[in-house]
Amino acid sequence: MDIRGGLQEWWERGRELGAANPLLVDIGVALLVQAAMTMPFVVPRAAGAPPATWAAYGLSTLTVLPLVWRRRAPVAVLFAVLAANGLYQLAVNGPGQPLPYTGLVVVYTIAALSPARKRLVTGLVLLAAVPGGVWLNTRSARELTFSVFVVAAAYVFGRLTDARQRAHRVAAEQVAARERARIAREMHDILSHAVSLMIVQAEAGPVAVRAAPERAEAAFDAISATGRDAMTQLRRMLGVLREGDDDSGGTGPREPQPGVVELAGLCDRVRAGSGLDVVYRTAGAVRPVPGAVGATVFRVVQEALTNTVRHAGASTVTVQLTYGGDDLSVCVTDDGRGPQTGGAGRRGGHGLVGIRERAAALGGSAVTGRAADGRGFEVRVRIPVTAAVEAGR
């Protein structure tokens, strides 16, 4: 297991080095091909075989040298390799090669990296070059069949590499898109909640100054506390995202995202900041839940309370957290105006969409709409905790 892990680590380091220095990879490929083409010059030769001269070896090296530029000008390298191979066949009577190494590398490169027009040009060139090379060598149908097969195989492998790289790029873009959506939801929930409470307090401040000056100080304290809480949560989120911000190259400080333990404090802050009667209760056997589940439940409740403060005109809101056998449910119900459509009072928008997306990401479900008694608004979310743990969340 240790040997396998060490080999995997070296392989990953090699890939990273190759991605950062493609010229080094091309030089390495050229050296590897040169080593393969050297074999017929150093192994014992049968009597009557063409001599292994320095001139022949130098010319064989000339066929390999263009491979260093195979990524930057693959079609030009193909013509250079074909010309050097033709010169080798016509000018010297040196050892033959079991495979057309240089040609295969260039064909693979063109198939993997070049657009369709250049691949078409390559195909037309090879239609003439492969039979021509066979005619200069053995003029046998066997060599022609073998040459066509290996060249076609190199082309197919190149196209498969291109398809795999495209699939990796698409997968990476999808991951990035999901991460952007997650960050957008976090930012929306944190800032929308904080700003909504601060607006409520700011609007109540002038009234409190005139009617009850002692309450004005409490309003300003609530605004300050809400702002500090928002900053703390933003730092938590950014701490997870920020990497390599210290001198040692390590990661920045990371704090856990809020979870079900912080729900009571959230309800207290909303109660103090908005004047709503926020009732929080739990049912079932209370137990620890995975961090992602806890963070999702916290954000769901936060968004639901924010909507109640902004849109419901409610006096009471109830947050019910229920621990089931293999799931966790949360229900937020207010006694306000119920579902609103259109205009600034609309219940929904990005917040409710974000709630559904959060629940779906953990294999759960979310239902929003009129409360069961026909009054107010209800947000009900169920998350299967077992499925979330098995997914490694």
In the chain, the domains with their CATH numbers are 2-139 (no CATH), 173-390 (3.30.565.10)
The per-residue pLDDT for range 144-200, each reduced to its tens digit, is 888 889 999 999 999 999 999 889 888 888 888 877 777 777 777 777 777 777 776
Q: Residue 382: pLDDT above 80?
A: yes
Q: Which of 59-63, 179-183, 200-204, 222-226 has the lowest mean pLDDT?
A: 200-204
Q: Which of 18-27, 124-133, 170-179 has the lowest mean pLDDT?
A: 18-27
- 6 pLDDT band, cuts 50/70/90, is low
As a whole number, mean pLDDT of residues 71-82 equals 89
Q: Residue 54: pLDDT above 90?
A: no
- Report H helices in the chain: 2-20, 22-42, 54-64, 74-91, 101-113, 116-136, 141-211, 213-241, 263-274, 291-307, 349-361, 385-390
Which of the given ranges, 10-19, 147-156, 184-193, 368-377, has the highest pLDDT on average?
147-156
Residue 8 has a pLDDT of 64
Residue 249 has a pLDDT of 43
As a whole number, mean pLDDT of residues 121-136 equals 85
Percent of the chain with pLDDT over 70: 78
Which of the given ranges, 57-71, 192-206, 234-248, has the highest pLDDT on average?
57-71
Residue 212 has a pLDDT of 61
| Spatial separation of the C-alpha atoms in residues 364 and 374, rounded to whole Å | 25
Asked if residue 296 lies in contact with residue 383, where contact means CB atoms within 8 angstroms, the answer is yes
Residue 338 has a pLDDT of 66
As a whole number, mean pLDDT of residues 234-238 equals 68
As a whole number, mean pLDDT of residues 42-70 equals 83
Query: Higher model confidence: residue 292 or residue 312?
Result: 292
The encoded tokens of residue 58 equal 């130098």
Q: Residue 35: pLDDT above 60?
A: yes
Q: Which residues pair with 331 in a beta bridge?
A: 320, 380
Residue 2 has a pLDDT of 57
């016509």: which residue's tokens? 90
The single-letter DSSP state of residue 341 is: -
Q: Which of 108-122, 276-290, 340-354, 379-393 has the lowest mean pLDDT?
A: 340-354
The per-residue pLDDT for range 249-278, each reduced to its tens digit, is 444 444 567 888 889 988 888 887 777 889
Residue 344 has a pLDDT of 39
| Spatial separation of the C-alpha atoms in residues 44 and 28, rounded to whole Å | 27
| Spatial separation of the C-alpha atoms in residues 302 and 354, rounded to whole Å | 12
Query: Higher model confidence: residue 319 or residue 349?
Result: 319
């010059």: which residue's tokens? 41
Residue 381 has a pLDDT of 93
The whole-chain average pLDDT of the chain stands at 79
Which of the given ranges, 25-29, 109-113, 136-140, 308-312, has the highest pLDDT on average?
109-113
Q: Residue 392: pLDDT above 50?
A: no
- Closest C-alpha among 122, 85, 93, 130 to residue 106: 122
Q: Residue 132: pLDDT above 70?
A: yes
User: Residues, the chain, total?
Assistant: 393
Q: Which of 28-37, 103-112, 190-199 has the lowest mean pLDDT?
A: 190-199
Which of the given ranges, 98-107, 201-210, 351-360, has the highest pLDDT on average?
98-107
Residue 281 has a pLDDT of 92
